[in-house]
Chains A and B, each alone.
Chain A
Amino acid sequence: MKDIIQIQNISFNYSNQPRLFDGLSLDVHQGEWLALIGQNGSGKSTLARLIDGLNVLTKGQILVAGMPVNDANVLKIRNKIGMVFQNPEDQFVGATVEDDVAFGLENRQVDRQKMHDIVKQSLKSVNMWEFRDRIPANLSGGQKQRVAIAGIIALSPEIIILDEATSMLDPRGRQDILNLVRQIKEKNHLTVISITHDIDEAAGADRVVIINKGQKIDEDTPAQIFKHPKRLEQIGLDVPYTSQLIAALSKRSVHAAKEYLNSEELITWIKQLVSTT
């Protein structure tokens, strides 16, 4: 598979702070859903900002679609990447929903008539067209994130980075947003990098990368990563719900063959267990 982002041996530190990354390397394959998990302060968000050229590397290099991230390429690279940030309030630039979606297009000096068409399509694809006249103060957190996603769809990027985009939403809003991104990803063959604390969000990814203190601890499919719930706990991460259930059962002397099963496997296992006893 082609690598759309190559992170090669990078080092970075914020001024007056200890080194955050020291020789980190990571590849993102085209078309995959990659989940980056790790504790607060492990460098996940900084990594996203480095990819988008919002922070400048100390050493090493990052290639996005073959272009190194530097001053000459930064605008081209930002055209390829759409970022959704954590706080819905802080990324709403426009005075109304429509104006916010148009903001990115205005920056690219898109023709007005074309801009109106794109804004309409994008808002319809996130089901927010009826809300086009609303001001941000009259929208819920999930609705604001939908608008943020519409603003990104309008620019038709190749990569979407969700920087803890669902962490301030309720479980339902979170599920809505993730389903929406999944649909858009399938439809437009995008690459998604989701930075998250939410283990269930990571469980839906194609590949999971664990980052701790600027180091890549492991990268694998969710099933493989979650096989070691104790390691997740040690670096301060949550354990998937099914692993918690398996651990609770094993305390009561009901032992499963594996430490991680997805919910369907878990249900079949419990059904078998019940029918044999």
Chain B
Amino acid sequence: MNNFLFGRYLPGNSWIHQMSPQSKLTLSFYFVVVIFFANNLASYGALAALIIVVVLLSGVSITFFLKGIRPLIWLIIFTVSLQILFSAGGHVFWQWGPFSISDLSLINGGYIFIRFLLIIMISTVLTLTTTPLAIADGVQTVLKPLKKIHFPVDTLALMLSIALRFVPTLMDEMGTILNAQRSRGVDFGSGSLKHRVQAAVPLLVPLFTGAINHAENLSTAMEARGFSDSEHRSKYRVYRWQGKDTISWLAFLAVGGLVLWIRKH
């Protein structure tokens, strides 16, 4: 679990760290959309150059990123090899039954590989440089327009931040329950599938009842501190749109335009 980088936050004070979470969220989304427009070497090259700049600006070392990608490498290899083996057309080098390798399929496989890499990189940059709390706040800001159609944005943001706050607490509790049940002779993680599912019951039931107790006590404590509804509140933390955000958006828009212009039609 320790070398799993996805969804973790690294404290820092770089350019990317200082950007507002709403712009980082929207930029990541925009970048993923742009990736799917790229379809030749030049357009992928432009995106790769952009991501390298982003990684450098984030102040996180490249080896750190590579380590983070390692757990996902099998998923990437699996998808890429399926793509190579099953796509038809072009000059065929090798064929066996339904499987074939051609120059086109190799190129396609390469593109899929780069696509994966770029998506993982941008989302890793997002999570490494943004605290979970800031992401929750960013979601709230980004979804604000939905208030017009009476979507409960503030409630959603509050739920999100409480959920994030309770993740480590519940993980700790799960560890405690796991060990308590082990000490009473429950065997986790061995035996047949059926056996393993049955062994999970004495873990899940106390975890759920514990979560319900937490919820009840927390709601009482919130009420006692004057919480009445999530809309009529002021905010302690505010992430303002800054010059950095505008510059980053301009750079991303320029690269996006470049990709649309040089892609193969």
Contact = CB atoms under 8 A, between A and B. Distances in A.
B168 interface: yes
A102 B217 contact: no
Nearest to A93: B222
Interface stretch (B71-79, B107-115, B158-166, B186-194): B158-166
A85 B226 contact: no
Interface string B197-219: 00000000000000001100110
A81 B133 CA distance: 29
B169 A89 contact: yes
A112 B221 contact: no
Contacts of B217: 85, 87, 90-91
A77 to B, nearest CB: 10
A102 B213 CA distance: 24
Given A94-B165, A95-B132, A75 B234 contact: no
B130 to A, nearest CB: 13
B210 to A, nearest CB: 10
A87 B221 CA distance: 10
Given A95-B133, A136-B165, A106 B233 contact: yes
Contacts of B227: 103, 107
Interface in A77-129: 78-79, 81, 83, 85, 87, 89-96, 98-99, 102-112, 115-116, 119
A54 interface: yes
Interface stretch (B13-21, B235-243, B257-265): B235-243
B225 interface: yes
B225 A104 contact: yes
Contacts of A94: 161, 165
Interface of A: 49, 52, 54, 75, 78-79, 81, 83, 85, 87, 89-96, 98-99, 102-112, 115-116, 119, 135-137, 151, 155
Given A85-B224, A93-B221, A94-B165, 11 more contacts: A78-B226, A85-B220, A85-B221, A93-B165, A96-B133, A106-B233, A107-B225, A109-B234, A112-B236, A115-B234, A136-B168
